[in-house]
Amino acid sequence: MTIDVAVIPGEDAAPEAMDQVIRIIDSLDLEIAWHYPEVGAAAKEKWGTTFPDAAIQLIDQCTTTLFGSTSGPSGRALHYLRWGKQTYANVRPARWRPGFRSPLAKPQGVDFVIVRENLEDLYLSLEGELADLAPLGLTSGTAGKPPQALGTGFYALKAITEEGSARVIRYAFELARQRRARGLPGHVTLGSKWNMLPKSDGLFRDIGEAIAAEYDDVPYRAFIIDDLAHRMVADPHALDVVVMPNLYGDILSDAAAGLVGGLGLAPSGCYGNDYAYFESAHGTAPDIAGKGIINPTATLMSAGMMLEYLGLTEASRQIDVAITRIYRENRSLTPDQGGQAGTVQFADSMIQLLSATDPSTPIAR
Ligand code: ATP
């Protein structure tokens, strides 16, 4: 049976990566039909809106969405995929493979996953003028003044809920169990800033403790987020599943990508209870748009996560094996990984490898 997948390539250099990823996956002859909802600048010109109803309908008709990256115009579509579809767990793997250009002296064995809460925290984008807070009668716990007395400026609201924290933390524990079953360590590390923000970030930590007590087979630790940032760089081998609120997860997952070799290698999947979509963790790379050199690996690995979600496990595994080989053999790598190949050449090599890959080849770690 054909699986319908919506594709939103995004802006700047992102579509250059997406086009090649679609070509690579098509080379596997899977029963996937790609659909391209009209969103962003093209939709605006034609329909007067960046996210017309027809696009929503098409996304809803498809089983999942593969998303490039947006610099703004496809933003409403992205918001729909997150908040509209309640995809609360943003899973961002950071796994080094031979050939990945890591700055670490010993990157061998670095293999952890950040589970970032995807819908709350500062990313609700609730901002306003400090003066507007006067009627609330608030006093800063540190500055000892009401917010409107701090000066002229803006506030941003950080919201952490019990429900939102519990579901993402539970997701992290389930993922740890799955990883344990695959021979990985299978433990959870939680980070938040509970010392400065005992209510919001304190709640996140308290819920972590409560859920950890339910999963007594899954080892659990919690660190204040700055301590965790240090540990992530100083001893990344000690991490397995790492769960944190939205903003910290966004920042530290870019840092994690840097540890294993760069943003071009950082995939992600956003999972909810009954929907998931997939996008690379990097942005639209506007500085290299049109040059044909964006590294499509992050988008390809995200597509691999998508294939697994769709139950196309063997295809996902084949892609994983081919990525491991292309880097191990230093074939047709893009400039961010020290190579001279363009995006299309990289894809050509992947297609060649996929047609030659023995499916029984074990996944190298
Ligand atoms: P966002 O806020 O949307 O995450 P950003 O400001 O983090 O975006 P990116 O678009 O991720 O910025 O790019 C940061 C740098 O990394 C740029 O120099 C960009 O060219 C580079 N970069 C990002 N992704 C890739 C990729 N897939 N291949 C090569 N270079 C990349």
Q: What is the mean pLDDT of residues 240-266?
A: 98
Looking at the chain, which residues constitute the CATH 3.40.718.10 domain(s)?
1-101+264-365
Distance 44 CA to ligand 1 centre (A): 25
Q: Name the DSSP letter for residue 121.
A: B
Question: Residues with Cβ < 8 Å from 225, sequence gap 6 or more?
Answer: 191, 192, 193, 201, 244, 248, 252
**For the segment 132-165, what is each residue's pLDDT rounded down to a tens digit?**
999 999 999 999 999 999 999 999 999 999 999 9
Question: Which of 69, 122, 263, 327 has the most ligand 1 atoms within 8 A of CB, as the residue to mutate?
Answer: 263
Distance 12 CA to ligand 1 centre (A): 10
pTM for this prediction: 0.95
Residue 327 confidence (pLDDT) above 60: yes
∠ CA 334-338-340, nearest 5°, is 50
- Side-chain-facing half-sphere of 138: CA atoms under 13 Å: 15
Ligand 1 binding pocket, CB closer than 6 Å: 17, 69, 263-264, 282-285, 287-288, 294-295, 298, 336
Residue 29 confidence (pLDDT) above 70: yes
Q: Which atom of ligand 1 is nearest to the CA of 17?
A: 27
CATH (residue range 1-101+264-365): 3.40.718.10
Question: Which of 253, 282, 284, 340 has the most ligand 1 atoms within 8 A of CB, as the residue to mutate?
Answer: 282
**For the segment 72-95, what is each residue's pLDDT rounded down to a tens digit?**
999 999 999 999 999 999 999 999
User: What angle do the packed helices 297-309 and 313-328 form, to 10 degrees?
Assistant: 160
The owner of tokens 């599943």 is: 241
Average pLDDT, the chain: 96
Distance 263 CA to ligand 1 centre (A): 6
* Both structure tokens of 241: 């599943």
Residue 363 confidence (pLDDT) above 60: no
Residue 357 confidence (pLDDT) above 70: no
What confidence tier does 364 reach under pLDDT thresholds 50, 70, 90? very low
Distance 14 CA to ligand 1 centre (A): 10
Q: Name the DSSP letter for residue 362.
A: P
Which residues on adjacent β-strands are paired with residue 132? none
Cα separation, 240 vs 193, in Å, equals 20
Which residue's CA lies nearest to atom 20 of ligand 1? 285
What percent of the chain lies above the pLDDT cut of 70? 98
**For the segment 172-214, what is each residue's pLDDT rounded down to a tens digit?**
999 999 999 999 999 999 999 999 999 999 999 999 999 999 9
Q: Which atom of ligand 1 is nearest to the CA of 294?
A: 28
What confidence tier does 365 reach under pLDDT thresholds 50, 70, 90? very low
C-beta separation of 319 from 32 below 8 A? no
